[in-house]
Amino acid sequence: MSISVSIVGLTFLILIHEAGHFFVARAVGMRPRRFYLFFPPAVVKRERNGIEYGIGAIPLGGYVKIPGMHRPASGDLDAHTGPAREQAPWLEREHEPVRRALEEERLDDARAALGHVREAVGRADLTDGARRSAERGIADLDDALSDDAYWRAKAWKKIAVIFAGPATNLVFAVALLAAVFMIGVPANVSRTVENVVGDSPALEAGLQPGDTIVAIDGRRVTGETISEAIRASDGEPITLTVVREGRPTELEPARPLRTEGVYRLGFELRPTYESFGPVESVELAFRDIWRVTEATGSALARLVTGDSRDEISSPVGIVQGSSEALDFSVTVYLRILALISLSLAILNLLPLLPLDGGHIAFSVIEAVRGRAIPRVAYERFSLVGIALVLFLFFIGLSNDVNRLNGG
């Protein structure tokens, strides 16, 4: 159950990221063509005001389609109509006016010529697959030639649309963290046992939920020093003294087990919670945001030297970690979810294509230069960015598999 909730949480974070792009695009005059929960093929879809809303079959977040991310090129249509031109060679002569108009940057003429291609494809004797591919290519090129295409927009509009995704994740992180601080966060650890792990030394010694640990080997302890005393045992048997139903009780000696390099008995202590007012909660949320941002920046810097590769995690590790947090408490899970949202914002702002930060950087460069960056440059930098992202993903996946296997 906790794994499912964690997947839903991660999906929600991706969805609100895409929603940020969607709503700001509409606000600045770029009409998105699609907005989907999950990825196609579509399970359910509905068109409204020229926008297709749908739910896809592949449960991986969501996506928004904004028309014309790049200035149209002469070969854009050919990539989709190859099968159609093979089955109906006479379509080639209908394509030539479109190619020529695009090469000469006569965009209005290209759009008019594209209408003739659409009519010709409608008349041609084609297989369903070839027809769908051609119609998709025609629709994409028509969108890229439209007045509301992304590439036609002013630089500030492009930056606003792209920045809206990470900004939505950031705002959500602040709001969720503030809500968690208002609900209450663990302040101090009490001496009262919250739960006891099955087949653990603590269970064998007779420790029960609700017991209050007052001494270890006859020495009084506090909530903060209980773990220290267990770790200091070096695996030698220790004796817990607890208060149960108002009476001191000495338990059977228990030998701590070494797990993940630390000696443990296998129990959790009950935390005490502290809640804050709205203003202080927002301040604490921003303090958490700044701390995690600094830590992320430091980790990325160390990654260059290879010092922090073991810290990288993939979506598998993120889901696993957040599900474990949910097992502990809802507020801990919500706090982890907020910090994952923040991490999505930070990583998406890295100046790498195809990440949001890369698109923002290129828009700024275009604004300074006063002219568009060649499309081939976008494509080459995107290949480098994709390679780096995949490299980090597989490192993270390898780390997660090792952790799950106890490595």
Residue among 382, 348, 372 at smallest CA distance from 149: 372
Q: Which two tokens stand for residue 127?
A: 């297989």
pLDDT at 326: 45
**Per-residue pLDDT for 179 more than 90?**
yes
Alpha helices in 248-374 (DSSP H): 278-305, 315-328, 330-348, 356-369
Task: Give yes or no for a contact between 352 and 385, defined as CB atoms under 8 angstroms apart.
Answer: yes
pLDDT at 294: 81
Q: What is the pLDDT of residues 197-210, one digit of tens each?
A: 888 999 999 999 99
Q: Is residue 330 part of a domain?
A: yes
Q: Calculate Rg over the CA atoms of the chain.
A: 29
Residue numbers of the domain that contains 102: 78-145
Task: Give yes or no for a contact between 53 and 6, defined as CB atoms under 8 angstroms apart.
Answer: no
Angle between helices 375-404 and 315-328 (to 10 degrees): 50
**Per-residue pLDDT for 190 more than 90?**
no
How far is 354 from 199, CA to CA, in rounded Å? Answer: 49
- Total-model pTM: 0.75
**Per-residue pLDDT for 59 more than 50?**
yes
Q: Which residues pair with 34 in a beta bridge?
A: 52, 65
Q: Are residues 357 and 241 in the same domain?
A: no
Q: What is the pLDDT of residues 87-136, one digit of tens each?
A: 998 988 988 999 999 998 899 999 999 999 999 999 999 899 999 999 99
* Domain endpoint, select from 90, 117, 145: 145
Q: Is residue 205 part of a domain?
A: yes
Q: What is the pLDDT of residues 287-325, one digit of tens each?
A: 988 888 887 777 777 666 655 555 555 444 444 454 454
Does 60 or 32 have the greater pLDDT score?
Answer: 32
Q: What is the pLDDT of residues 379-402, one digit of tens each?
A: 899 898 888 877 776 766 566 556
Q: Are residues 237 and 324 in the same domain?
A: no
Name the strand (E) or helix (H) holding 122. Answer: helix 107-123
Domain count, the chain: 3
Q: How would you classify the pairing of strands 212-216 and 267-274?
A: unpaired
Q: Is residue 352 part of a domain?
A: yes
Q: What is the DSSP string of 293-310?
A: HHHHHHHHHHHHHTTTGG
pLDDT at 62: 83
Q: Is residue 364 part of a domain?
A: yes
pLDDT at 325: 46
**Per-residue pLDDT for 254 more than 50?**
yes
Amino acid letter at 298?
Answer: S
Q: Are residues 282 and 351 in the same domain?
A: yes
